[in-house]
Homo-oligomer: A and B are copies of this chain.
């Protein structure tokens, strides 16, 4: 256990480990070694140990890790024992799709509200979730205790939306607009850029040698 800076790559993997443990737990496994975990889920055992060691000494030498125990630890580290409320800005196809996206609830996130600027959409519902005027964003954030905002608006509006979100005191943002956003230092933004992923696939297809992915 060190008081070092923990890289985002590590925390991303923590999330993966938790998923693996959930699967093992559902199969009734009591303990697991970093080696078995690595073999089973195509990970590297040294990396698993190193990642976990950033947060504490969870293992038992000669035995491995207790599945339920480690599961609890990871859940706590990732802050997943607490329910988080989410507000989605942009009630287009993507925003509404995310509104009842299964994975949100999996990860203890609840979508509390949708926001849009389009008069026609305001007041409508997607499932149980109402669409509000984005002008009232700050107000509803306070009322519903929203901690996470999702930006699902076209690229040209994304920066303005981010500023509104920031003013409302939101510190965690998931951005689907394909542009880099400028944010205050204490605001965490995760951008999911589908355009980059697509163009990366396109590049791959354009390569003459689509032969050897190897090992």
Contacts and interface: CB of A to CB of B under 8 A. Distances in A.
Contact of A210 (B148, B179, B186, B196): B186
A117 interface: no
Given A93-B96, A97-B93, A100-B93, A186 B199 contact: no
A179 B20 CA distance: 9
**Which of under 10, 10 to 19, 20 to 34, or 35 or more describes the interface residues of A?**
35 or more
B19 A179 contact: yes
A147 B207 CA distance: 14
Q: Give the oligomeric copy count.
A: 2
Given A103-B194, A201-B190, A42 B182 contact: yes
A84 B199 CA distance: 11
Interface of A: 8, 11-12, 14-16, 18-19, 41-42, 77-80, 82, 84, 93-94, 96-97, 100-104, 106-109, 147-148, 154, 171-174, 178-180, 182, 184-188, 190, 192, 194-206, 210-215
